[in-house]
Structures are given as C-alpha cells and as structure tokens.
C-alpha cells in the first residue's frame, strides 16, 4: 500500500505464483494505491471503504458476496484475459459493480498458439525432440512419420476474434477452412479467409482433419465436445483446445484417445489446471499439453495491464469504459 491520495485498488499480491508482475506493479503504482489481499484482511474496516476497484490477475483475488459486502465504494472489477467464466456477473450487477476484460489484445497470441499446437501435434515435435536428445537413440527411423497440415481441413468452432485470426493463419497453409458459430460471418469476411460456414456442428466434425475450439465458456458451451461429438470425428483427426478446459468432457476425451476414436489432442487448457500428476492425459504419447499460455507473451501481458488500467480509470471518472463487459 502506497500513496493514499491515489484511488485504492485491490490486488491479490505482487509476485509469487499468481500475483501481479513486479514490473507491472511499479507501473500501476503511478496511477493507483495498490492494496494486497493480505493488507486488506489485516485492516478490513478501514481499507474496505477506500477500495474503489479490483485488479483481477490470474483470476485472483476471488470475488464472492462476502468480499463485495465489505467494499461499499467498489466501482469496477478489471479482469485480465477474455474469459469471464470465473466471475458471477449477476452477483456483481446486483452490487452495481462494472466489469471489464481484455478481449482483443489476447487474440493474436492465442491464434498463434493454436497454430503452434496444430503443427507440433501433427508433426510430432515433442516426440521427435525426445528421440533426438535421448541417450538411447542410435538412429532415426525412416518410418517415423507425422501428418501434413498444408492442404488439410481445419474446422474452427467459435469464429470470434480468435477463431478468425486462426483462419487467417490457416489460409497461408492452404487449408480448407470450415467453421461453426452462433452467427454466420458476412460473405466478405468468409471470402477473405476462404471459410465455409457449417450451420450444424456435426457437419464440421465429420469433415475436419483438425478441430480447433475457440469458444467462450458459457452454459451452452460447457462440455460442448463429448462422446457423441468425438465419435463423429475422423479416426485420423486431432482435437485442439485453446478456449477453456470445460468446453470438452475430459473423461470422454480420454476414452476416445485410448480407443483410437480420434488420433490425437493438443490442449492449452484443461480442468483442473494443472491436471493431477497421475491423470491419464499426461501419460499419452498422442496428447500434447501446454500450461494455458495462449496470451503469455511479454508484450501482450503489458498491453493487458494497460487496458485494465484504462478501464479502471474510466470507471472511476464516470467515463465510458473502453473494455466493459455488458452485464
């Protein structure tokens, strides 16, 4: 906690496992008086009335009704990233608290990672690296093969900003692009990337060599991909998830991979995160998992912080919030 003349903003902590980055904290202190959860818990009566915003990094601090009741002057919760499934929007609305996120800046990096996962899985990069560096390797087998990406069919489920950026990248690989979305993109947007709309998700699943999930987690997309959907996919197909772990029924995915219903999976997201160390997905050679790093680049995380700062400042000065989530 620093300058009391600046508006007070609640954060989880600085540094540590999930805290605000130390260099980000120094920049934030130019605009706000940062109060950590530890400081708040030690002096709730006084600090609770001073806090006007919550800066939510890595889904921390956790917001519940007890916390909201103790923050009578709270105006906004600024959450990092695009997903808001960790927030109770109805609860926040009842307390008159605005919500913002950072939906656009994460799109480019997340799309890049989606392509990286597709390439790494199809060309078996992790297995290849392990073979290349293993002390037991005496030769490279000529029949060690991957699957081609160029010219293959990519099915994108969720054609929002991230999904569309994936399509832009896939076009350069001369892929046939199918997509399923709540709303069809206009013809100009479709033609720009050569995307074909599938009104029924089943049609996309049956035709795609790679299925990439880029949807928000909502009640409608919770376990969107389960046993039925996996059985519709080609036995040579790969499932790629860059959205949220709960969009896929993980038990059904394990079964499908074990029984060769589909060929492989490449996942930046799981549930929980990280998975228990004895989880079967961690033991499968045809599964590639990364630690939810879709937006994890220095530049993007810095711009996320700047976007959150702008939203907080706007809310505290009664100006339109540039990245507001409409409740």
Active site residues: 244, 273, 292
Determine the Cα–Cα distance for residues 141 and 145; give it in Å rounded to an integer: 9
255 in Cβ contact with 225 (< 8 Å): no
43 in Cβ contact with 89 (< 8 Å): no
In the chain, which residue ranges form alpha helices assigned H by DSSP? 22-28, 37-42, 44-50, 65-69, 89-94, 105-122, 125-133, 161-172, 187-193, 201-207, 227-232, 250-258, 298-316
33 in Cβ contact with 9 (< 8 Å): yes
47 in Cβ contact with 73 (< 8 Å): no
**DSSP H or E run through 176:** strand 176-180
84: three-class secondary structure by DSSP: coil
């Amino acid at each position: 906690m620093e300058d009391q003349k600046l508006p007070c903003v609640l954060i989880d902590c600085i540094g540590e496992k999930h805290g605000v980055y130390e260099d980000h904290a120094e920049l934030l202190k130019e605009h706000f008086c940062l109060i950590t959860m530890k400081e708040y818990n030690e002096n709730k009566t006084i600090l609770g009335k001073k806090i006007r915003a919550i800066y939510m990094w890595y889904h921390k601090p956790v917001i519940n009704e007890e916390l909201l009741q103790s923050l009578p002057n709270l105006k906004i919760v600024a959450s990092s990233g695009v997903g808001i499934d960790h927030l109770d929007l109805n609860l926040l609305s009842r307390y008159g608290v605005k919500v913002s996120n950072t939906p656009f800046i994460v799109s480019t990096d997340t799309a890049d990672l989606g392509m990286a996962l597709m390439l790494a899985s199809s060309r078996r990069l992790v297995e290849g690296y392990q073979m290349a560096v293993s002390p037991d390797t005496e030769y490279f087998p000529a029949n060690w093969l991957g699957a081609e990406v160029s010219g293959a069919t990519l099915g994108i489920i969720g054609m929002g900003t991230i999904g569309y950026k994936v399509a832009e990248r896939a076009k350069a690989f001369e892929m046939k692009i199918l997509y399923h979305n709540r709303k069809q993109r206009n013809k100009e947007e479709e033609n720009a990337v050569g995307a074909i709309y599938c009104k029924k998700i089943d049609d996309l699943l049956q035709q795609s060599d790679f299925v990439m999930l880029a949807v928000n987690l909502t009640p409608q997309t919770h376990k969107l991909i389960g046993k039925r959907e996996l059985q519709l996919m080609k036995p040579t197909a790969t499932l790629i998830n860059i959205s949220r772990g709960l969009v896929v029924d993980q038990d059904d995915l394990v079964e499908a991979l074990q029984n060769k219903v589909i060929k492989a999976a490449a996942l930046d997201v799981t549930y929980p995160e990280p998975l228990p160390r004895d989880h079967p997905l961690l033991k499968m050679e045809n599964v590639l998992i990364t630690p939810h790093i879709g937006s994890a680049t220095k530049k993007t995380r810095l711009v996320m912080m700047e976007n959150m700062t702008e939203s907080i400042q706007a809310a505290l000065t009664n100006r339109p919030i540039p990245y507001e989530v409409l409740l």
